């Protein structure tokens, strides 16, 4: 199962830093402790014009004091997405603790996924112009709402001067971003990468738009359970530091896990309806890229949105890829706890994969009420489980039929 470091696919890639800001906690440790405990971060929202919404719950980051973290001059430039991303990136860089290396920084990459950039700034500016009748908006509105803003400000804060961009592929954005960063480090294009995803969609405008799709729950998110009523929108950020495994070991860095493959596919079908074939092709591509057989995988962090169609289709795809081994897989949807952070979802979920590989703890799928015959795999209902996991995959399947799967293994 171990990838051959001399194989044509390239260098082995380690995760040496992790930072998380979510509805479950303001740092990676708190986020993972809540995952272990089966804590639900979904609850009543505190946003403007809440009374005009029919769906009034979501997974909101509480206690994030931006004014204590950033100078006033910085806050004039930072939308909430950038604020969350910078906080997570700082934690990841602090943990990785790379030694100063100007030559490395010239080729260091920053690749960040985000589906709906600058929604708070857009909502505020529309309210000012259309509701309050103002003739001006914030002078830095454009840099605040740029999709590339989180990547740009991360590069500026940490002096990273190599390739950098944002990725926007709806709910697969983070996995696409992390997959691209992984491929760059593996191929030698970059020797260091900061990557992950962020989203801050909990605004009146975004919530009203999602209400129109009629896919959101009004109480709790219960993926794979009979009677599930839909997804819960979330905000949050998770950022990771990637570097060559040999280099990480040589400098004595703590290796959290090893990314070994990335698979991507398009359904070429419906703009919103999921495809089992497209999802299965992305999973197979990730396994092939990693040099893993289906039987090598012990855990799947499912896309698991809590909608009837998505969960049913994902189980169909898992059975197609893993065959009889699907019955032995440990599976969970952590969106039941931290909500669906759209472009940031895959990054928040990679923390659960690291926890499974490093600590042998399988995060639960909470709020599970009763089995659904169409979702008849082991989805770790309600309580965390212990298991020795050597390899895992994390699934993200997006509107538009854009699928991205990350494969990782334990750092042995």
Report yes or no: 127 and 52 within 8 Å, Cβ to Cβ. Answer: no
Furthest C-alpha separation in the chain: 64
Catalytic sites, residue numbers? 171, 303, 340
Cα→Cα distances 239→16, 89, 110, 222, 263, Å:
11, 5, 10, 26, 20
Report yes or no: 35 and 334 within 8 Å, Cβ to Cβ. Answer: yes
Report yes or no: 20 and 241 within 8 Å, Cβ to Cβ. Answer: no
């Amino acid at each position: 199962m171990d990838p051959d470091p001399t194989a044509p696919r390239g260098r082995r890639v380690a995760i040496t830093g992790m930072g998380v800001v979510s509805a479950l906690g303001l740092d990676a440790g708190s986020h993972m402790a809540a995952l272990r405990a089966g804590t639900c971060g979904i609850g009543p929202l505190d946003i403007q014009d809440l009374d005009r919404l029919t769906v009034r719950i979501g997974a909101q980051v509480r206690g994030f004091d931006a004014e204590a973290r950033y100078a006033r001059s910085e806050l004039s430039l930072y939308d909430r997405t950038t604020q969350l991303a910078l906080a997570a990136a700082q934690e990841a860089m602090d943990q990785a603790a790379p030694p100063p290396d100007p030559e490395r920084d010239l080729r260091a990459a920053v690749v960040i996924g985000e589906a709906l950039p600058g929604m708070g700034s857009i909502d505020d500016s529309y309210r000012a112009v259309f509701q309050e009748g103002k003739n001006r908006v914030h002078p830095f509105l454009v840099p605040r709402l740029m999709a590339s803003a989180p990547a740009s400000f991360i590069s500026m804060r940490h002096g990273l001067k190599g390739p950098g961009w944002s990725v926007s592929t709806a709910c697969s954005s983070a996995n696409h971003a992390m997959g691209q960063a992984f491929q760059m480090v593996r191929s030698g294009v970059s020797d260091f990468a900061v990557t992950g995803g962020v989203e801050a969609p909990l605004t009146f405008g975004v919530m009203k738009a999602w209400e129109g799709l009629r896919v959101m729950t009004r109480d709790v998110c219960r993926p794979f359970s009979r009677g599930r009523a839909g997804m819960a929108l979330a905000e949050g950020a998770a950022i990771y530091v990637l570097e060559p495994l040999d280099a990480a070991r040589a400098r004595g860095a703590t290796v959290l896990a090893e990314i070994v493959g990335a698979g991507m596919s398009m359904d070429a079908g419906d703009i919103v309806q999921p495809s089992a074939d497209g999802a299965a092709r992305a999973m197979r591509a990730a396994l092939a890229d990693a040099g893993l057989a289906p039987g090598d995988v012990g855990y799947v962090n499912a896309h698991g949105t809590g909608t009837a169609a998505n969960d049913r289709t994902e189980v169909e795809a898992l059975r197609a890829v893993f065959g009889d081994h699907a019955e032995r897989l440990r599976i969970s949807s952590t969106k039941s706890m931290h909500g669906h952070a759209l472009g940031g979802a895959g990054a928040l979920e990679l923390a659960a994969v690291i926890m499974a590989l490093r600590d042998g703890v399988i995060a639960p799928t909470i709020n599970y009420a009763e089995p659904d015959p169409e979702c008849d795999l082991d989805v770790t209902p309600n309580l965390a489980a212990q298991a020795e996991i050597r390899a895992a995959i994390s699934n993200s399947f997006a509107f538009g039929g854009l699928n991205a799967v990350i494969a990782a293994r334990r750092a042995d």
